[in-house]
Amino acid sequence: MAEPQRRTLMDAAEVERVLAGMAKEIVRVTGGRDLLLVGIERRGVQLADRIARAISGAGGEAPATGSLDITLYRDDLMSVGPRPVVGQTRLPTGGINGRHLVIVDDVLYTGRTVRAGLDELADFGRPARISLAVLIDRGERELPIQADVVGRRVEVPRGGRVEVLVPEVDGSLGVELVSPEAAG
Amino acid sequence: MAHPTVPYLGKDLLGLEGLSREQITAILDTADNFKEISERPIKKVPVLRGKTIVNAFFENSTRTRISFEFAEKRLAADTVNISSTGSSVAKGETLVDTARNLEAMRIDMVVIRHGASGSAQFLGERIASNVINAGDGKHEHPTQGLLDLLTIRDHRGPLDQLKVCICGDVLHSRVARSNIHGLRKLGAQVAVCGPATLLPACVDELGVTVFRRIEEAIEWADVLNVLRLQLERMKGGFIPSLREYNRVFGVTRERVEAAPRDLLILHPGPMNRGVEIDSDVADGPHSVILQQVTNGVAVRMAVLYLLAGNAPEQSTAVRSTGSSE
């Protein structure tokens, strides 16, 4: 069996540049006031923190950040085999009612993760508006969900996947395309 | 990237003796992250939506039954409660017939408390639904053991080399057995302390130190888990009187204040104030008794989450895999 092939789609400098562009676009789309960036565990959380720093670094109002672990809202939870590790959801103590939330995730693919995130947020309150920002949109949606802010759109070969790496989890920053194993 | 997963627990939770250190740690870590759900405005997540759970309590219980029921409802399960009084069991139906009739109504999990040691395993081997032991005779009470471990870990961090003494009626206590198994697997040093009449004859085989005087136990321990003195033991001639028990083995304020280090005090409840534990201690700064109750819901949510769906299709009797060791 051949090893799956990995190809760098974006290096650290390019990810930083794309995140800075996303930060500007988020401010443009939302007005940039009283923002709450909610990262989806795991890597969406680190991306949300970086976007928040980019917004305040560019002179904007520093957004609040939170995290969303959607494990318990997955629609395949009872059929995925071994139980997924449950992470923690952290939202501001003041709640989310009436606020403008931006869900931040690393890769938008089927849309099921975002659907789970929306369901979970509904259990915490009624935001005025929810937008979606993703670093990578790889298409192939299974639900009618689209992002408001996209870092980059990529096409992925059948059976392949996109992996976003963040230093806090993976030790480096970047985006890699992992192609399926060649038939052995 | 693949989502990290939790070690497989098997179909049933029968006791802590059959679990590995990794499995116990995984349950505690999962429970840690379930605590937050009980603080939400809507204390419910859709994990067990569509699952039906039967709480079959053939012995009296308030705290454990309600704790399980909270856990089940917070995971959005449908629940049914049955007890021996007023059920077909009172008419002479066997435990297995009761369970099989319930399974015929398409249930998914059974939480069982029963006076006979081994009843949970007996049931687990004969029905396809998940079985969770909520206390079987003198054998084990695994979720109580787990919530005790979680509460100790919350306050003292990793349990390796921590000194924990279980005080009181160890002989009749399923809580003591679950505690001993769980604590030892997580690397704690475990001792027991109580009158000789209330300690098992082969207590040494459990791998614990034995103290005959509560003062010595308190001098040694970082943590005391004070067991309820079951008042019916009085009639059995195990102790001369409740007053004497309190005088010789009671966890009193004077004894706790004389401890060389900051003691942590647990009690599985319900308490006999003024017998095994004084009110000054139960309500004092060393006590984490109410936190045990809070942690009980999170631990039971974790167990339900980790076991649900591990059962095969119904009508296939299976045997639990038990330990992965």
Q: pLDDT of B239-272, one tens digit each?
A: 999 999 999 999 999 999 999 999 999 999 999 9
Looking at CA atoms only, how far is residue B53 from chain A in angstroms?
A: 15
Decide which of B160 and A182 is more confident. B160
Looking at CA atoms only, how far is residue A61 from chain B in angstroms?
A: 28
Q: Give the global pTM.
A: 0.92
Q: Is B261 a catalytic residue?
A: no
Q: Which of B37, B41, B305 sits opposite A83 (nearest CB)?
A: B305
What pLDDT does residue B86 have? Answer: 56
Q: Is B156 a catalytic residue?
A: no
Q: Is B184 a catalytic residue?
A: no
Q: Which residues contact B2 (CB under 8 A, 6 or more apart)?
A: none
Is B3 in Cβ contact with A87 (below 8 Å)? no
Looking at CA atoms only, how far is residue B19 from chain A in angstroms?
A: 16
Q: Which of B1, B5, B40 sits opposite A163 (nearest CB)?
A: B1
Establish if A72 touches chain B: CB-CB under 8 angstroms.
Answer: yes
Per-residue pLDDT, averaged over A129-150, amounts to 97
The interface residues of chain A toward chain B in range 101-140, judged by CB-CB distance below 8 A, are 119-120, 123-125
**Average pLDDT score over chain B:** 91
Residue of B113, B177, B184, B185 marked catalytic: B113
What pLDDT does residue A78 have? Answer: 84
How many Cβ atoms are within 10 Å of B196's Cβ, its own excluded? 11
Is A84 in Cβ contact with B3 (below 8 Å)? yes
Partners of residue B36 in chain A, C-beta under 8 Å = 88-89
pLDDT confidence tier of residue B202, bands split at 50, 70 and 90:
confident
Closest residue of chain B to A42, computed from CA coordinates: B3
Q: Which of A85, A86, A125 sits opposite B41 (nearest CB)?
A: A125
Asked whether the CA dihedral A39, A40, A42, A47 is positive or negative, the reply is negative
How many Cβ atoms are within 10 Å of A8's Cβ, its own excluded? 11
Tell me the percentage of chain A whose pLDDT exceeds 70: 96
Looking at CA atoms only, how far is residue A59 from chain B in angstroms?
A: 34
Q: Is B40 a catalytic residue?
A: no
Q: Is B64 a catalytic residue?
A: yes
What pLDDT does residue A148 have? Answer: 97
Contact A69, A87 (CB under 8 A): yes
Q: pLDDT of B42-59, one tens digit each?
A: 999 999 999 999 999 999
Residue of B65, B139, B141, B153 marked catalytic: B141
- Strands (DSSP E) along chain A, which ranges? 5-10, 35-40, 64-68, 100-108, 129-137, 149-153, 161-165, 174-179
Q: pLDDT of A32-42, one tens digit each?
A: 888 999 999 99
pLDDT above 50: residue B116:
yes
Q: Which of A71, A78, A161 sits opposite B309 (nearest CB)?
A: A78
Chain B interface disruption, residue of A68, A86, A91, A178, most B CBs within 10 A: A86
Query: Which DSSP string corresponds to B133-164?
Result: EEEETTS--HHHHHHHHHHHHHHH---TT-EE
**How crowded is the C-beta side of B79, counted as CA atoms within 13 Å?**
20
Establish if A92 touches chain B: CB-CB under 8 angstroms.
Answer: no
pLDDT above 70: residue B316:
no
Q: Which residue has the tokens 């109750």?
A: B293
Strands B78-83 and B52-57: parallel
pLDDT above 90: residue B233:
no
Phi, psi at residue B240, to the nearest 5°? -70, -45
pLDDT above 80: residue A47:
yes
Looking at CA atoms only, how far is residue A169 from chain B in angstroms?
A: 12
Q: Which residue has the tokens 């059929």?
A: A79
CB pairs under 8 A between A and B: 55
Phi, psi at residue A36, to the nearest 5°? -125, 115
Per-residue pLDDT, averaged over B141-157, amounts to 98
A35-40 β-sheet, strand order: A64-68, A35-40, A100-108, A129-137, A149-153
Residue type, B228: R
Burial (0-12, 13-18, 19+ Cβ within 10 Å), B205: exposed
